[in-house]
Amino acid sequence: MIEHAKTQTILNWFERICQIPRGSKNERAISDWLVAWAEEHGFAARRDSVLNVVIEVPGSPGYEGAPAVVIQGHMDMVCEKTKGSAHDFSKDPIKLVVDGDWFKADGTTLGADNGIALAMALTAATDPDLPHPPLELLFTVDEETGLTGAKFLKPGFIKGKLLLNVDSEDEGVFTVGCAGGRDTNITLPVRLEAAPRGHQAFVLAVGGFKGGHSGVDIHKQRGNAVRTLGRALSAVLEQADARIASLHGGSAHNAIPRDAEALLYLPKAKVAAVKRALTKLQSALRAEHARTDPDVKVTLKSQPKAEATPWAARSTARAVDLLLALPHGVDAYSADIEKLVETSNNLATVRTEKRALVVHTSQRSSVMDKLAFLTHRIEAIARLAGAEAETGAGYPSWQPNMESPLLARCKTLYKNLFQKDPVVEIIHAGLECGIIGARYKGMDMISFGPTIKNPHSPDERIEVRSIGLVWDFFAALLKELK
């Protein structure tokens, strides 16, 4: 039962947003809808070349001359689904499921990250009883695959100097800083060679991992399917002259891989020994991940109709060595802030493209020099394996301003509302605030939001009660910004 007066209104907008496909790089439909929504409600809207949208909402009576406040969120969502789901993110609406005091989706990511920001902004814009200054609703594209929309923001696209980012995932927590990041693509050439006589095709698969966000969940020591596949292939090579034909795993740079598989050829005489080795590995993995990924599994299934040409023995060995050598997980914790992950890497995806293995890694750090150093290490590993590495420009960290007037006001207001102090944190994840702050000098920013669990995975869910609490704070803050 939804008790808070505004929660149902917010959820109604969120459910409408969930009807529109909006995976990263597929935001045309949601961008069009937002512009049409603005026109329908009599608000001015503008859109740039990459489909970012700004909707201008006049101040309510008595607030017309107040400085504009930017309410910001991103349109896109991570598209992850369970192994057996037939959901097509390019056209199918997200199916919502009520689970007690939580909303989740049916076998897919929910998209509360960051559809809930859009829903709260639209609610604020249309609430006749909410006093507020002029608002600029800034909705960006492609945040999840590289913060692309924020990177393309041009001078003058927004005018406000106060920014409320609604993309944090714990009610009662104010985010005031974030990590920077860079992605590296590694391309390892492979030589094709006919399978030796007596070899048969099999699919080696690892799965059952929980996955999660490669920033905020990286310290939880959840298993990585791509790394585990490398470990499984190493166990196979210890038993037999195996030849890989293809590798695939992971789905996005910012999601910890949940599933990965390899098509490989094994000598018939060694299949039993390989299966014993994999059974032993599965037992070891379940013991190692008893608390984080208790359902991990390793399977080997015959693939009699496989026609792919395998790689030569040397190419197979190099590919396995590369997967074993590349880092994954926390590289360093902050020496200044207790329990804050400072630097990490996500061994994100692996795939086969023609005569090459392509591996994607995603590095994060709140210290840009250490981000560069970790990236150089990954590039060095790639070169040692005989591969080429190409690293993108990345995005900057958001350095916290603990003397921020906006932060001081938010802390006081929160305590007055709820009789407790909010948590103020820096997160090990990328937020658009870092780029926006660099684009628009002098911007005072804060990030907050309702409680969302397991973003970037099919287990994503949002706590309904927290939506009302965030709204109460949000509405009270806008009322104060006169």
Q: If DSSP states are collapsed to H, E and C, what string results for 379-404?
A: HHHHHHCCCEEEECCCECCECCCCCC
Pairing of strands 243-249, 260-267: antiparallel
Q: Would you give the distance in Å from CA 18 to the centre of its chain?
A: 18
The conformational region for residue 188 under phi > 0 = left, psi -120 to 50 = alpha, else beta, is beta
Which sign does the torsion angle of CA 267, 268, 273, 276 carry? Answer: positive
- Pick the catalytic residue: 27, 80, 142, 143? 143
Residue 76: active-site member: yes
Cα 160 to Cα 1, 378, 472: the distances in Å are 38, 40, 22
Q: Would you give the distance in Å from CA 362 to the centre of its chain?
A: 11
Pairing of strands 341-353, 356-365: antiparallel
Token pair for 270:
């060694």
Q: Please choose, from the candidates 407, 435, 438, 434, the residue with its C-alpha nearest in 3D space to the C-alpha of residue 423.
A: 407
| Residue listed under structure tokens 């009610």 | 171
Pairing of strands 44-47, 53-57: antiparallel
d(CA 391, CA 376): 9
Cα 275 to Cα 175, 278, 286, 294, 305: the distances in Å are 48, 5, 16, 21, 20
Q: Please choose, from the candidates 293, 104, 107, 149, the residue with its C-alpha nearest in 3D space to the C-alpha of residue 217.
A: 293
Residues 471 and 120 sit within 8 Å (Cβ to Cβ): yes
The conformational region for residue 352 under phi > 0 = left, psi -120 to 50 = alpha, else beta, is beta
Token pair for 25:
């790089």
Residues 253 and 346 sit within 8 Å (Cβ to Cβ): yes
d(CA 268, CA 362): 38
Q: Would you give the distance in Å from CA 365 to the centre of its chain?
A: 15
- Pick the catalytic residue: 76, 113, 142, 425? 76
Residues 198 and 269 sit within 8 Å (Cβ to Cβ): yes
Q: Which residues make Cβ contacts (< 8 Å) with residue 322, sequence separation at least 6?
A: 186, 188, 230, 357, 359, 381, 382, 385, 387
Active site residues per annotation: 76, 143
